[in-house]
Amino acid sequence: MRGLKRLSLSVAAAACAAMLAPAAFAQSGDKPEAKAPAHEISTVDIPVPPLPHIDWSFSGPFGTYDRASAQRGFLIYQQVCSNCHSMDQLYYRNLEGIGLSEDQIKAIAASVQVPGGVNDQGQPIERPGKPSDHFKAPFPNEQAARAANGGALPPDQSVLELAREGGADYLYAILTGYADPPPGVKLMSGMNYNTYFPGHQIAMPQPLQEGSVQYTDGVKPTLDQEAKDVVTFLTWAANPEMEERKQTGVRVILFLIFLTGVTYAVKRRVWSDLH
Amino acid sequence: MVGLHKSEFKNPVINWIDTRMPVFTMMQKEYGSFPTPRNFNYFWNFGALAMVNLVLMIATGVFLAMNYAPNSMLAFDSVERIMRDVNWGWLIRYAHMNGASMFFIVVYVHLFRGLYYGSYKAPRELLWMLGVVILLLMMATAFMGYVLPWGQMSYWGATVITNLFSAIPLVGKSIVTWLWGGFAVDNPTLNRFFSLHYLLPFVIVGVVFLHVVALHITGSNNPLGIEVKTPQDTIPFHPYYTIKDSVGICVFFIVLAALVFFAPNFFASPDNYIQANPLQTPAEIVPEWYFLPFYAILRSVPNKLGGVMMMFGSIAVLFVLPWLDTSPVRSARFRPIYRQLFWLLVISVFALGAVGAHRPQGIWVVIGRLATLYYFLHFLVILPVLGKLERPLPLPESISRPVLGGGKMPGGATAKPMEKA
C-alpha cells in the first residue's frame, strides 16, 4: 500500500507491535526501539511530523540519477555506512550504473579481501575482490553485527529505499532528523532521539554530520548535501533499472495512446453503418 | 453425432482440418458471427479485459518461474536477481505484480457490472456461479503468489491467513499444520504454494472456458436487461465487439503501463522488501488491497470463528444471489430503489476497504461493523424483500427500439412475464 498510504496515512508509531489481527502470533518483535519506561513521557506518544518533500533528481516521469551526487553518496557509503550496513544484493560491477569507469570499479573491488575458496591444503584463503564480487559485508553474520552494535541489527541497504514507507524522503528525514529529546523524555540506554523514526528511539547514532566526508569535487559537505547524496546512491541501489524503466515507459505510453486513437477511429468507422 | 463435419471454409488446409475437427467452424460461430446485443456499453469490455489479463499473468509468470527459486533461503534473493540481472526481468516482475492488481480491478468492475445490470438472474445463474468460482480461485492464486517473494508481508500474511483455519473447532489446529507442512510457515509451505500458484491459473483457464460456454448458451445480458427478441436486436460479435473490446484493451494497457513504468510499487507494501523473518512481526500486517474489504469483515466480528465464517460468507452470498434477488427486472436502470441501494453497497465495500487498511480501533471499528452489517443486509434481507415491494419503471419493448412502448405499459410491479425465468 505504499502509494495508497502515502496519500492518506500519517505514519503510526511502529513500536506498539501488539497485533490486532485475530490470529495468534508466536513472537513479538525484538526491535531495537523498544518501549520507554512507563513513568517517563513515552516517545511513542510523540507525533511524527510529515516527511520533508525533497525535489530529487530522480523524481518524476523523466527523472534520472544525478551521477555526481550518486558517486558522492557512494563515497559516504564506503566511508560511513559500510562500517555497519551490508549491501548484499549489489556487485561491484553494478557501480557502472552511477558512472564509475571499469578501472575505478576494479580498484574499488580490489581494495577489499573476499573469501577465495580453498588452497591445495584445503585451507580457506582470501583474495582481492573483483568486479564480479558482491559488496563485502561488514560482519560475517547477524550475531556479529548485533554484538558490535549494542544488540541492534543494522539493516541491509540494498533495497532500503523500497523497504521504508516514504522511500527516499524518509531516508533523508532520518539522516537529518536527529535532535535532542524533548524535556521529560528519557531514552533507553544506547538509544538516540530522531524526529522522524517511528517511536523516535533509534539505535543508530547520528551517522552524518557537517564535514563527515571530504568531497573531491569541491562540493561543500553540509549535512543536507551529504544526506541528499547518500540517499541518491541508496535509491539507485534499490532501483538500478529506474532510468531505463521510465524512458521505456514514456515510449510505451506514447505508442499506446497512438494505438488507442487509431483503434478508436477504426471502431467508429466499423460501427458507423449501424447508426 | 458421428461423422465428418461439412465445412464451409474455402481454404483447403483449413477445410481439411475443419472437416475432421470443426474448431474453425466453432470459432466462427462463437466469436465471429455470434449474435450479440447491439447495445453494450463499455462496461461490457471487462470480461474480455479479464481474459487478456489472465493471459498476461500466465505469460509473465512462466518467465518469472524460470528464474525464481522456491526455497526459503533463496527466494528473496532470486527475486532481486530477476530485478537486477535477468534481461528485462524488472519489466516481467513489475508487470506480473501490477498485473495482479489490475486483474482484481478488472474483475471487481466486471462483478459490479453484473450486480448493476442483473446479469446473475435467470437464465444466467450458472454463468454467475462459475464467475464466483473464478473469483475464489483468483483469490487463492493471488494469496499464494504474494507469499513467493518471501518478504516480511509474504511470511506474516501467510501466517495470518493460514491461521484462520485454526478457528475450525476440533480439527482446526491439525488442518493448519497440514497446510503448512510443518509447525510454522516455512520452506515446505513455500514449496507447495509455489506449486499451487503455478497450477491454479490453469484451473482458472478451465473454469473461464466453462464460464464462456455457459455465456454462449444463454447469450449476453445487456444494459437494458431485456431479452433479445428479434435479429435487429443483435449484431455479430466480429467485427463490432472485437473492435470495441480492442479499444478497451488499449486503455487497459495504458493504465497498466503507467503503473509498471512510473509507479511500480504503488500497490506494494514496503515491508515486503524486507526478507521474511519469523522472529520479527511487522508493526502492521496488512493484506494486499484487493483483500482489504474481506479482511475488514473478518476483523469486524469479535469472535474468531464468527469472523472467519462471515468472511467466507461474504463470498457465499454471491453464490446464492440469483435466488436472493426476487425482482424479475434485471437492469438497475428500471429499478429506482435498487439503483440507489446498489451504490450504497459500493460505498460500503469501499468503506470496508478503508477499514481493512487501518488498525481496528476507534471510529474504524464502528465503520467496519456498519459496513459489514449493510453488506449482508443488502444481500440477505433487502434484495429478497425489495423484489416484492419495488415498482419497476416500464421496460422498453426491445433492444432495437429502446423507446418505451408509447406509454401503453402500466408501469406496475408486474414486469413483462418474459423477463421472468
Region B194-216: what's the mean pLDDT? 98
Q: A154: Cβ–Cβ under 8 A, 6 or more apart, which residues?
A: A84, A85, A86, A145, A204
Examine the residue annotation and report whether B244 is marked as an active-site residue of this protein: yes
- Dump pLDDT digits (tens) for A113-159: 999 999 999 999 999 999 999 999 999 999 999 999 999 999 999 99
Q: Judge whether B91 is closer than 8 Å to chain A, CB to CB.
A: yes
How high is the mean pLDDT of chain A? Answer: 87
Whole-number Å distance between alpha carbons of A174 and A234: 13
- Dump pLDDT digits (tens) for B351-367: 999 999 999 999 999 99
Q: Judge whether A18 is closer than 8 Å to chain B, CB to CB.
A: no
Mutate one of B41, B98, B273 to test the A interface: name it (highest A CB count within 10 A).
Answer: B273
In the stretch 238-297 of chain B, residues with CB closer than 8 A to chain A read 239-240, 243-244, 246-247, 250-251, 253-254, 257-258, 260-271, 273-274, 278-286, 289
Examine the residue annotation and report whether B30 is marked as an active-site residue of this protein: no
Region B372-376: what's the mean pLDDT? 98
**What percent of chain A is predicted at pLDDT more than 90?**
79
Inter-chain touch A22–B299, beta carbons under 8 Å: yes
Which residue of A246, A252, A267 is in closest CB contact with B247? A267
Helix (H) / strand (E) containing B112: helix B89-117
DSSP state, residue B265: T
pLDDT at A19 over 80: no
CA distances from B237 to B31, B33, B37, B38 (A): 6, 6, 9, 9
Inter-chain touch A21–B280, beta carbons under 8 Å: no
Where does the pLDDT of residue A27 fall: very low under 50, low under 70, confident under 90, or very high at 90 and above?
A: very low
Cα of B85 to nearest chain A Cα, Å: 10
Where does the pLDDT of residue A16 fall: very low under 50, low under 70, confident under 90, or very high at 90 and above?
A: very low
Strands B234-236 and B35-37: antiparallel
Mutate one of A28, A143, A239, A241 to test the B interface: name it (highest B CB count within 10 A).
Answer: A241
Region A178-204: what's the mean pLDDT? 93
Examine the residue annotation and report whether B216 is marked as an active-site residue of this protein: yes
The closest alpha carbon to B31, from B165, B285, B212, belongs to B212
Region B23-46: what's the mean pLDDT? 96
pLDDT for the residue numbered A30: 42
Region B120-124: what's the mean pLDDT? 96
Where does the pLDDT of residue B409 fall: very low under 50, low under 70, confident under 90, or very high at 90 and above?
A: very low
pLDDT for the residue numbered A5: 47
pLDDT at B421 over 60: no
**What percent of chain B is predicted at pLDDT more than 90?**
94
- Dump pLDDT digits (tens) for B297-355: 999 999 999 999 999 999 999 999 999 999 999 999 999 999 999 999 999 999 999 99
- Dump pLDDT digits (tens) for B276-288: 999 999 988 999 9
Inter-chain touch B262–A24, beta carbons under 8 Å: no
pLDDT at B411 over 80: no
Examine the residue annotation and report whether B378 is marked as an active-site residue of this protein: no
pLDDT for the residue numbered B419: 41
Cell of B111: 462483478
pLDDT for the residue numbered B133: 98
Q: Judge whether B306 is closer than 8 Å to chain A, CB to CB.
A: no
pLDDT at A103 over 80: yes
pLDDT for the residue numbered B405: 46
Inter-chain touch A31–B280, beta carbons under 8 Å: yes
Where does the pLDDT of residue B128 fall: very low under 50, low under 70, confident under 90, or very high at 90 and above?
A: very high
Examine the residue annotation and report whether B125 is marked as an active-site residue of this protein: no
Q: Give me the helix-helix angle, B237-262 and B89-117, nearest 10°.
A: 130
pTM to 2 decimals? 0.90
pLDDT for the residue numbered B413: 41
Q: Could you report the predicted ipTM of this complex, rounded to two decimals?
A: 0.90
Q: Which residues of A touch B284 (CB under 8 A)?
A: 12, 14
Region B108-119: what's the mean pLDDT? 98
Q: Give me the helix-helix angle, B187-218 and B172-180, nearest 10°.
A: 100
- Dump pLDDT digits (tens) for B147-160: 999 999 999 999 99
Where does the pLDDT of residue A42 fall: very low under 50, low under 70, confident under 90, or very high at 90 and above?
A: confident
Whole-number Å distance between alpha carbons of A58 and B161: 37
Where does the pLDDT of residue A184 fall: very low under 50, low under 70, confident under 90, or very high at 90 and above?
A: confident
Which residue of B240, B281, B359 is in closest CB contact with A270? B240
pLDDT at B97 over 60: yes
Inter-chain touch A260–B254, beta carbons under 8 Å: yes
Q: DSSP string spanning chain A?
A: -HHHHHHHPPPPPSS-----SSS--S-----SSPPPPTTSPPGGGSPPPPPP----TT-STT----HHHHHHHHHHHHHTGGGT---TT-BGGGGGGGT--HHHHHHHHHTSEEEEEE-TTS-EEEEE--TTSBPPPSSSSHHHHHHHTTT--PPP-TTTTTSSTTHHHHHHHHHH-B-PPPTT--PPTT-EEBSSSTTSEESS-----TTSS--SSS----HHHHHHHHHHHHHHHH-TTHHHHHHHHHHHHHHHHHHHHHHHHHHHHHHGGG-
**Marked catalytic residue, from B78, B154, B220, B269:** B220
Region B123-137: what's the mean pLDDT? 98
pLDDT at A92 over 70: yes
Region A87-100: what's the mean pLDDT? 97
How high is the mean pLDDT of chain B? Answer: 94
CA dihedral B29, B35, B38, B44 (to 10 degrees): -60
pLDDT for the residue numbered A14: 33
Where does the pLDDT of residue A45 fall: very low under 50, low under 70, confident under 90, or very high at 90 and above?
A: confident
Inter-chain touch B281–A89, beta carbons under 8 Å: no
Q: How far apart are the first and last CA of chain B?
A: 31
pLDDT for the residue numbered B212: 97
Amino acid at B203: V
- Dump pLDDT digits (tens) for A240-258: 999 999 999 999 999 999 9
Q: Which residues of A touch B87 (CB under 8 A)?
A: none
Of B45-49, B205-209, B262-266, B412-416, which range is least confident? Answer: B412-416
Nearest chain A residue to B87 by CA distance is A241
